Structure 1
Amino acid sequence: MGTILEQILEHKKQEVDHLRERKNFIPESQYKRHSFIKKLQTTDELSIIAEFKRASPSKGTINNVVNPGVQASAYEKFGASAISVLTDQTFFKGSFSDLKAVREAVELPLLCKDFIIDPLQIKQAASYGADLILLIAAALDEMRLHELYQYAKGMGLEILVEIHNQKELEKAIKIGAELIGINNRDLKTFQVSLGVTEKLAAEVKNSGAFLISESGIHHQEDVKRVRNAGANGILVGEAFMKSSDINQTFVDFRLPINEGAKR
């Protein structure tokens, strides 16, 4: 069967084939761009990318009843710097309809969170209102990562390059990534450790990139830990999707950034 990541990527190839058959039906983006990087450049607070995430392979269903527009509006109201939307349907129960609903509800930068392997997926993300896309270093060889990075930049999108280990970090730095996400979850085993951010943070910062810590962040102590390692921001899904008091969760997570984390 292979790892979960391998299964997801194999399914993505099939999705891209279907997308290619109807590529003429992907409209040009009609949405204005919102820059997450500009927010990072001007804030004194740890930036929060709040995620709309219905489910995951490791957690199963997280919250499949909340309205994406309503949830996103709460994120915006309580202090999110950007919103991430899972658009993978098969493994995460997401959709591009969710992305569109969020785009129409808020004025924040939006990250299309998916397993992107082809330029058509980037075009599709932009057409539904994404300002940023995710490129996962573990899913792409260096040449393909560079090609997709440049394609997205050419469309005026910002790119969060996700890494989990030293080898992937080197790929991200080599292509000139301005925004690097350290995923504390190993996409092959789905084990989570905040120590991954602590191990790789210094080299990310030395490259000049902004650092986003992803996964495994559930409590204020987790936020403090990655903030103290040098993170400029965090990407959080489950804690917000399960929260009975989203306002209080944001209060707990909105911390002043370390002086050393600024560029």
Structure 2
Amino acid sequence: MGSLTEAAHERAALVASTLPELRAASRDLPPAKAFASALRRDCLAVIAEVKRASPSKGDIAPGLDAAAQASAYVAGGAAAISVLTEPTRFGGTLADLQSVSQAVPVPVIRKDFLVHPVQLWEARASGASAALLIVRSLSPDLLPRLVEAAQEAGLALLVEVRDEAELERALAVHAPVIGVNNRNLETLVIDPATAPRVIRQMPPHIVAVAESGMRSPADAQPAADAGADALLVGSAISASASPSDDVRALASIPRRARPAAP
């Protein structure tokens, strides 16, 4: 993950001077679609990801049409769309984010290694309603700075953690939507017990999102049992021949109330 974070700093430095133009472009857009409320459903909400490649799998769907794929997800009941914009290892672009934002009626998230406020304004100017922040990739002073920048830009956040210590950092910045990644971003190994364990520690008012390693309803059931509100699913459905059907199956899992953390 370190090299991707370093590359993100380099990409941000190249566009930092465009911040005034991005702010102006964002002011001309309609208000962002509500993100947290879109993930509160009777069944698990599905955040379906547009993903051409990944460091763990290589090429997944290199010829994928981002807008068409996102529309297929929405037809299957996706509550929100996640769009990878990292260019070197995930094959994403800001143009994908813009085309998806224009094509679907649900909130769209920019998923990338975001390390500078200019990247949040890029997301908003491209039509995103939300953006991902990875706690592990951000210093203790940078995380609250980016949370403040997102609020100024009118963006919601999905704040991603991997363990209880990172959960405490996310709660300290009052993140209303917190994702737990089953994948270790250093080793790329998936531990399916991670999200259920950490989600059980979240207060009931937090929207809890389980991420990575869920290809089927059976894979997602432990997260549902732990009180997850939503799933973020990428590789399996990006490579699927029937993405609408796969999203529909995941979106049919009943959501269970999460009891207060011990």
Pick the TM interval, shorter chain. Answer: over 0.9
Q: Does 1:212 align with 2:174?
A: no
Whether the 8 Å contact between 2:200 and 2:258 is mirrored in structure 1 is no
What secondary structure does 1:203 align onto?
coil
1:142, distance to aligned residue in structure 2 (A) = 2.1
Distance 2:93 2:30 in 1: 18
For residues 34-75 of structure 1, the C-alpha deviation after alignment (integer angstroms, 9 at most, x for no partner) is 11212234x211100000001111110100112111111111
Whether the 8 Å contact between 1:173 and 1:207 is mirrored in structure 2 is no
Question: RMSD of the alignment, in Å?
Answer: 1.6
Equivalent residue, structure 1, for 2:228: 231
Query: TM-score when scaled to structure 2?
Result: 0.93
Equivalent residue, structure 2, for 1:33: 32
Query: TM-score when scaled to structure 1?
Result: 0.93
Equivalent residue, structure 1, for 2:122: 124
Distance 1:215 1:46 in 2: 15
1:248, distance to aligned residue in structure 2 (A) = 2.2
AA partner of residue 131 (structure 2)? I
Query: 132-141 vs 249-258, which deviates more?
Result: 249-258
Distance 2:204 2:71 in 1: 34
Whether the 8 Å contact between 1:165 and 1:196 is mirrored in structure 2 is yes
For residues 152-172 of structure 1, the C-alpha deviation after alignment (integer angstroms, 9 at most, x for no partner) is 122221111000012111101
Query: 147-156 vs 189-198, which deviates more?
Result: 147-156
Equivalent residue, structure 2, for 1:8: 4
Distance 1:148 1:212 in 2: 20
Whether the 8 Å contact between 2:38 and 2:79 is mirrored in structure 1 is yes
Whether the 8 Å contact between 1:86 and 1:114 is mirrored in structure 2 is yes
What secondary structure does 1:235 align onto?
strand
Pick from 69, 72, 77: which aligns with 2:70?
Answer: 72
AA partner of residue 132 (structure 2)? L
1:262, distance to aligned residue in structure 2 (A) = 8.7
Distance 1:171 1:47 in 2: 24
1:216, distance to aligned residue in structure 2 (A) = 0.5
For residues 68-104 of structure 1, the C-alpha deviation after alignment (integer angstroms, 9 at most, x for no partner) is 1111111111100000000010121100000011011
Q: Does 1:177 align with 2:175?
A: yes
Runs of at least 5 residues in structure 1 that lack an aligned partner in the other structure: none
AA partner of residue 126 (structure 2)? Y
Q: Aligned pairs, how many?
A: 257
Equivalent residue, structure 1, for 2:113: 115
1:207, distance to aligned residue in structure 2 (A) = 6.1
What secondary structure does 1:192 align onto?
coil
Equivalent residue, structure 1, for 2:249: 252
Moved over 6 A (4+): none
AA partner of residue 12 (structure 1)? A
Could you tell me the percent identity over the aligned residues?
33
Runs of at least 5 residues in structure 2 that lack an aligned partner in the other structure: none
Whether the 8 Å contact between 2:204 and 2:258 is mirrored in structure 1 is no
